[in-house]
Structure 1
């Protein structure tokens, strides 16, 4: 039964993560922490194991989604590598921060973080992209309607933001897209679909670096990972297909409501045991 629950969790997290460019870890980590209270098999999950296992699973979510988005010609690979200059070291720093964090502090911090992310998702479509950007890298993208959209960024600013995105990825086991996608859309004027696809490429790169570190220090439960990975791979493909055909407004609404509920639940769980 637990295997089925984990497989479904991996599938749902990957679908939502791929649609929104979030990676799915923001769903997997709190779900594992909450399930550990009710399942004898899933019991005993520490924050470090939840984070490490989530990051390993996100390698497959990120790769699956990236391959699908590359076929759709929506991934800005050059920008993804530039962002990785910051997110790679940031991910390693986040792993280092995570190693000594106790359960109660982790639950409260992660709960607050999730609520903040839900707020960002709530307002991101209401804030217009910056009209003027510092001189730096200028890019263009032609969408399916034949419209050419200009976007760009100052590399130093982009790498700095990506460092903190990577740090949160390594610390909390999330893909970082929940921060990077709004930054790309609002600060760098990326077209939303291009931002999501490029974010999944960055999720793949950052998760690979972070998970290698977590594996080396024993923070991965391979039983959980093997149960989550098949759903994560399939969900990455399905999420990219859904993203291509549908607007994500309804999904964003459901996701942010879900994140608020999960965030409050984690905060309560952490505070009640302090």
Structure 2
């Protein structure tokens, strides 16, 4: 039941474009005692179908600028390769800390940024 709830909340966040991994990864580590690397792997598998549904929905609404997307995809592929290699080499405890710091930075930014 807890995994279904985690997936539901992660899906909502993903559909909003925020990134379901911000919910999914910490939840798997905290509530299921999963190693950080495994949680990241699960996140990647879960991401695919969720991203496809979100992509279709946003495409139908005309919310995608393909000229930006092409450039970001190229950088994202290179970053994914490097990030995956690094994640496998970093100790799980250090990876948790890096991920936690990243979430704090993003959360702080979201709290203090000016309204558009």
Deviation at 1:205, TM superposition (A): 2.1
Deviations 1:81-109 (A, max 9, x none): xxxxxxxxxxxxxxxxxxxxxxxxxxxxx
Query: Contact 2:28–2:34 at 8 Å: present in 1 too?
Result: yes
Aligned counterpart, 1:262: 109
Runs of 5+ consecutive residues of structure 1 not aligned to the other structure: 1-155
Aligned counterpart, 2:53: 209
Paired residues, what number? Answer: 113
Segments of 4+ moved more than 2 angstroms: 249-254
Aligned counterpart, 2:89: 245
How far apart, in 1, do the equivalents of 2:6 and 2:62 lie? Answer: 29
How far apart, in 2, do the equivalents of 1:214 and 1:265 lie? Answer: 27
Deviations 1:1-43 (A, max 9, x none): xxxxxxxxxxxxxxxxxxxxxxxxxxxxxxxxxxxxxxxxxxx
Runs of 5+ consecutive residues of structure 2 not aligned to the other structure: none
Deviation at 1:258, TM superposition (A): 2.7
Higher strand share: 1
Cα RMSD (Å) of the superposition? 1.9
Higher helix share: 2
TM-score, normalised to structure 1's length? 0.38
Matches within 5 A, 1:176-191: 176-191=20-35
Deviation at 1:238, TM superposition (A): 1.0
Deviation at 1:249, TM superposition (A): 4.9
- Structure with higher RCO (Cα < 8 A, 6+ apart): 1
TM-score, normalised to structure 2's length? 0.84
Deviation at 1:254, TM superposition (A): 4.5
